[in-house]
Amino acid sequence: MSKFIITVENLNYKINDTEILKNINFKIPEGDFVGIIGPNGAGKSTLVKILIGKITDFEGKVSIKGKIGYLPQFQTINREVPIKAHEFVLMGAYKNKQNIGKIPELLKEVGLAGKENRLVGNMSGGELQRLSLARALISEPDVLILDEPEAGVDQMGKAKFYELLEKIKSEKKLTIIMISHDIGMVFEKCKTIMCLNKTLHCHGPSEKIRPEELKVLFPDFDLWIRSRDHYEKEHKNVE
């Protein structure tokens, strides 16, 4: 029987009198790959901020066993700031500065071997995305949380990044939670789907949740749902 690495019970969160999250309950077993989907304003990023401990004034219970690595939404880097790749990655180590020795191998794992001294401002969107992943992994987390990791990255970089996630998940035995608007990719890659719009409308295995049903569930959510054939054709083009 799988052990639950995250348990959320009766989670509620308000800002003033506005409900952001209402009666959220779920459990995530070790080794799961969870995709969180929902329209803008659904509370997805708020839920992530609660899981990583950035928001603490919520009602309910949140239990997490192990360390969390976090990859936030893609942000434009000030290209005038002369920060090097290894310095950027080390930011994720917090007090464990001894992890600096792991940076070369970690950069190799994310496809950036030999680029320790490259200026972050000179990197492409895809390279910066993978560098951010290395920063999230340097603390050796048990759970990796990603908030729209594909934002700001072209389709080729996006497909390669998802393949990289699968590889790292398998090798490091990680539990992954990912917010994404790429519904087709979520259904292809994630084992479990969570449909969130202030409350949890569905939570279960991806093969048991029909993408077409989401259009009924979220009529105002602009869903682009790709078929498996479309994904495979696109993936071959990337290769």
CB 179 within 8 A of CB 155: no
Nearest in space to 179 (alpha carbons), one of 148, 143, 155, 223: 148
Domains of the chain plus CATH, in order, are 1-66+145-239 (3.40.50.300), 75-141 (no CATH)
pTM (predicted TM-score): 0.83
Average confidence score pLDDT of the chain: 83
Task: Identify the pLDDT of residue 181.
Answer: 79
Residue matched to tokens 């998802």: 162
| 233 has pLDDT over 80 | no
pLDDT in tens, 95-140: 566 667 788 999 999 999 989 999 988 888 788 888 989 999 998 8
